[in-house]
Amino acid sequence: MRKLIYAINLTLDGCCDHTKGIADAEIHDFYTKLLLASDTFVYGRKTYGLMVPYWPEIARNPGGDVSDNEFANAFVGIRDIVVFSRSLQSGGDEKTRFVTGDSPERLREEILSIKNMEGKPILTGGVDLPGQLIALDLIDEYIFLIQPLLVGEGRRLPTSVPEPRKLELLEVTKFDNGGVAMRYGTMR
């Protein structure tokens, strides 16, 4: 069964708002490697709307930032994008599939189906959909990229778990900007 990996940027005070963090070359390179090791994205409508069409456009019209260009190319190289949405039912390209419905049972069924397909690990990001996936105990690995910032505001992770879960530290990556990425696996 394929792993479902949740990756998110967080400030030291817990903010996960994408406009509040650091997006330097080193962080882009870290995420580019993660993308290259995966072949499927699972997004909610909001995260999908942030990523597409932004990164495909950078891939079509590269700019002067090499790390942005490499990330964009890795992004468009992903085999499948699955978008869970109550309002979007179509759009994107031939590799994007939209799943409608809002029941936890439907979400669990779809994710387990994706995990049982052949391929590399699956990535998810954002806040709302991953919060649901955490509550359903469907995440296999967590990557928390902690940024050396206190922002005092912004979106937080709305995580609901039926009971506390112990995670196993698998890897730590330090960044020159003072940030750190911690990769955890579930202990099943």
pLDDT tens sequence across 2-24: 999 999 999 999 999 988 889 89
pLDDT of residue 137: 92
pLDDT of residue 69: 96
pLDDT of residue 18: 85
Q: What pLDDT digit, counting tens, does each position of 152-187 carry?
A: 888 888 677 778 889 999 999 999 999 999 999 998
pLDDT of residue 64: 81
Residue 73: both structure tokens together:
């190319």
Q: What are the φ and ψ backbone dihedral angles of 146, each rounded to 5 degrees?
A: -90, 120
pLDDT of residue 89: 67
Q: What pLDDT digit, counting tens, does each position of 92-119 carry?
A: 678 899 998 778 999 999 999 999 999 9
**Percent of the chain having pLDDT more than 90?**
77
pLDDT of residue 160: 76
B/e letters for 4-21, b = 16+ CB within 10 Å, e = fewer, are bbbbbbbbeeebbebebb
pLDDT of residue 74: 97
Q: What pLDDT digit, counting tens, does each position of 12-55 carry?
A: 999 999 888 898 999 999 999 999 999 999 999 999 999 999 99
**What's the chain's Rg over C-alpha atoms?**
16
Q: What are the φ and ψ backbone dihedral angles of 75, each rounded to 5 degrees?
A: -60, -50
pLDDT of residue 93: 76
Q: Are 98 and 88 in contact (CB under 8 A)?
A: yes
